[in-house]
Amino acid sequence: DQQVKQNSPSLSVQEGRISILNCDYTNSMFDYFLWYKKYPAEGPTFLISISSIKDKNEDGRFTVFLNKSAKHLSLHIVPSQPGDSAVYFCAYSENQGGKLIFGQGTELSVKP
């Protein structure tokens, strides 16, 4: 039941460069997509979200892109900083108030 897939378990990027994290989904009914960041021994922290009616949302260094025809979501972090090193989860919600369905996560390492 892989409704949300993050195919890269890890990603290593040099400080100052762009980090691109990817997520694929299967269900066209998904209403809302979110990205969370998680440090060890902490809970997931909300980063940025996008409605299914949009194709881009930007917040500072973070931009999320949604390609509905390809059922693909990506998170761009630019410039990457060492403090961005964490596990990143994409998640979707079918409706407001509904549960979040998470991908497996991608561990980002930003090297100084």
Burial 49-87 (b: 16+ CB within 10 A, else e): bbeeeeeebeeeebbbbbeeeeeebbbbbeebeeebbbb
Tell me 5's DSSP state.
E
Q: How far is the CB of 86 from other proteins (least distance, A)?
A: 14
Kindly tell me which of 79 and 109 has the beta carbon lying closer to other proteins.
109
Place of tokens 């892109």: 65
| Cβ neighbours of residue 28 closer than 8 Å, sequence gap 6 or more | 68, 71
Classify 86 as helix, strand or coil: strand
Nearer to other proteins by C-beta: 13 or 73? Answer: 73
State which residue, 50 or 110, has the beta carbon closest to other proteins: 50
Please say which residue, 34 or 77, places its beta carbon nearer to other proteins.
34
State the minimum distance, in angstroms, from the CB of residue 97 to other proteins. Answer: 6
Q: Which residues bind other proteins (CB under 8 A)?
A: 31-32, 34, 36, 41-46, 49, 89, 93, 96-105
| Smallest gap from residue 54 Cβ to other proteins (A) | 13
> CB of residue 112 vs other proteins: minimum separation in angstroms?
27
